[in-house]
Structure 1
Amino acid sequence: MNKINTSLIAMVVAGNLVSLSAKATVEPNVYGTVYQPVASVVPSQAQVIYYRSNEVTSPYAAHVYVDGEYQSALLTGMYTSFCIPAGEHSLGAFLKDAPYYKGKEAQPYRDNFVGGKTYFVKVGGDSSGKPILVSAQEASNDLKGLRAQVHTLNRASAVEQCRYIASKTMDYALSSDVLFNFGKSGRNDITQQGRQAINELIGKINKNGVQLNRIQVIGHTDPIGKPETNMRLGQQRANTVRTLLVQGGLPARNLSASSAGSEELVVNDCSGTRAEQIQCNAPNRRVVVRVQTQ
């Protein structure tokens, strides 16, 4: 059973959320999934990505409120993603909020949220609770490696299930064994066969992508080694492939790079000697280039 430190236990008593302590530490394996770029929502909704970057060192959870109602609690390195009806709303994230939960009354940021738009919001570093709106480009760097908040339940009545706009996407999977030597990730580590594969992919994308709205480069690794090492290796390989795609003429502004590490395996039952495991896990070592064309 996964363990959650008792300093971040939340209970629902008589319909109210009771936080036993604002100070929180959480076992790493109970965090949610690593952030991946989100799709667009329908015009009647606005999407909010609220996050707390890794640069924050405070051990206290930041309680997020929407229209004065509790939505989530963010520790350092966590994010929450939700949708609200287009229109006027308030947002705030408060540290050391217990036991009075002033975020229920204080609404430091109120604005009109445009339908179909995604807002990237960072937890502020002071006690005012006022959020920091950031650009999508800045957020994409901050959100790398951050994990979803999954420990508490949303209590904000304005929050609703996101309705995403269907988009046409194409996935191109490149074998890491073709691209790189085992365990390598840099530009100088790309094999000649790997460079040829990337050039061929650029040709396919230019041919098929009439209008390139977004290109995600996602690094995947096998489960051999430590998870944090695999996550870093996947990110480094994705960064390298992204650089080569940009050098090949694809628009840098539409290209993002991220890592799934060893979390999305296509082969799960490899065993035997290390050499046998490496060979068996070959399908897991890949870089996926996901192209959104509409």
Structure 2
Amino acid sequence: MSLPSRKQTAALLSVALLASPVLAAPAGTVPGKVFDAAYVSVPPIGDDQAQVVYYRLQAGVQRQGSAHVYVDREFHTGLLPGGYSTFCLAPGSHTLGAYLDDTPDYKGKRSDLYQASLQGGKTYYLRVREDGNTFPQPVKREEAERELVTSRMQAHTLSRAASIEACRHYDYLVDESRFKHYELSSDVLFAFGKSASDDISAQGRKAVRELIDELQRDDAQIRHVQVVGHTDPIGDEAKNQHLGQLRANTLRELLIAGGIPDSVISAASAGNREPVVFSCYGNRVQQIACYAPNRRVVVKVELGRPVEK
């Protein structure tokens, strides 16, 4: 058998590359993954950076395609309905904007976008407008976090914006004396696999009542209450994510019914991504019992002033 010529080898290589499924994906995309983790409140940022949370509502969508977000005239991400992106920039003047129906001209690379002067140490919440206006809609934190409770991190594109920096969240900037933490066992609140208010046991209702009493003592100081549902790893990951959200939503509704203002409470799910117990063995009944500490609802309360010791 004769060996192929150099020209034939090059031709065969070209055919192979064109047929490659890796190259079939559009440039700048991440194959197989559209959304990642559910939104959880972002921590404070240092004075040497400004933090931006850019998001798109699930409701009121007029165009189903991506809203292409540009930072300093460079593509950052394509927000789908219900998606969000968090990024940091050096303090100073930056151009920001989101374009719907942006292809194939990619107007955001050359059009005049919204120019903002971002201050160090601040977090800005920006919402995509659905009316064709490319300027972001600034939103107050309380309103934004209510709208973000069902949002997922946009993961299907890669940022090409050179001015974006990895966020540096300095631990010493977080004044933990302003926070109270509560952890309720899901097995106290709900039966295994359950999430509705009617599923809560008498012991669970007593625990919720005690939590409400505690929160009401701090009512004048409360700035934000974050409810996060956690599950064990048994079963499908997507279903666990949904179950954690349903449980968090139920507890949020009970807190509101107990007199805590709905404007300060957000609910989110961590699914099975933050386990307390990592490996359990045995039959299903034994695993359910072993993984019980993972099934919990965590409540983090931010107060306007330090907690008195």
Aligned to 1:147: 152
Q: Does 1:84 align with 2:92?
A: no
Q: Match for residue 288 of structure 1?
A: 298
Q: 1:76 to 1:254 in 2, by over 3 A?
A: closer
Call closer, same or farther: CA 1:251–1:61 in 2, change over 3 Å: closer
What's 2:253 paired with? 243
Q: Could you tell me how far 1:225 is from its partner in structure 2?
A: 2.5
Decide which moves more: 194-203 or 123-132.
123-132
Q: Does 1:161 align with 2:170?
A: no
| Further displaced range: 57-66 or 280-289 | 57-66
Q: Does 1:233 align with 2:232?
A: no
> Residues 64-83 of structure 1 correspond to what in structure 2 (within 5 A)?
64-83=69-88
**Identical pairs, percent:** 44
Higher mean C-alpha deviation, range 252-261 or range 133-142: 133-142
Aligned length: 278
242-251 or 218-227, which moves further after superposition?
Answer: 242-251
TM-superposed deviation, 1:185: 1.7
Q: What is the distance in 2 between the residues matched to 1:147 and 1:4? A: 25
Conservation of the 8 A alpha-carbon contact between 2:50 and 2:123: yes
Cα pair distance change 1:141/1:46, threshold 3 Å:
same
Distance 1:208 1:130 in 2: 39
1:9 matched to 2:27: yes
Deviation at 1:130, TM superposition (A): 3.2
Q: Distance in 2 between matches of 1:240 and 1:127?
A: 36
Structure 2 match to 1:118:
123
- The structure that is helix-richer by fraction is 2
Alignment TM-score, normalising by the size of structure 2: 0.74
Q: Find out whether 1:129 has 2:134 as its counterpart.
A: yes
CA distance in 2, matches of 1:68, 1:59: 23
Q: Distance in 1 between matches of 2:23 and 2:100?
A: 18
Over the residues paired in the alignment, what is the CA RMSD in angstroms?
Answer: 3.3
Q: Which residue of 1 aligns with 2:5?
A: none
Q: Does 1:274 align with 2:284?
A: yes
In 2: Cα distance, 1:210 partner to 1:131 partner: 33
Q: Pick closer, same or farther for the CA change 1:254–1:43 going to 2, 3 Å.
A: farther
The answer to whether structure 1 residue 216 and structure 2 residue 221 are counterparts is no
- Output the CA distance in 2 between the equivalents of 1:181 and 1:75: 35
C-alpha distance in structure 1 between counterparts of 2:279 and 2:85, whole Å: 33
Query: What's the counterpart of residue 174 of structure 1?
Result: 184
Residue in structure 2 matched with residue 21 of structure 1 by the alignment: none
Unmatched 5+ stretches in structure 1: 11-23
Decide which structure has the larger Cα Rg and report it.
2
Q: Structure 2 vs 1, CA of residues 260 and 4 (structure 1 numbering), >3 Å: closer, same or farther?
A: farther
- Structure 1 residue 200: Cα displacement: 2.2
Over 3 Å counting, the alpha-carbon distance change for 1:9 and 1:77 in structure 2 is: farther
Per the normalisation by structure 1, the TM-score is 0.78
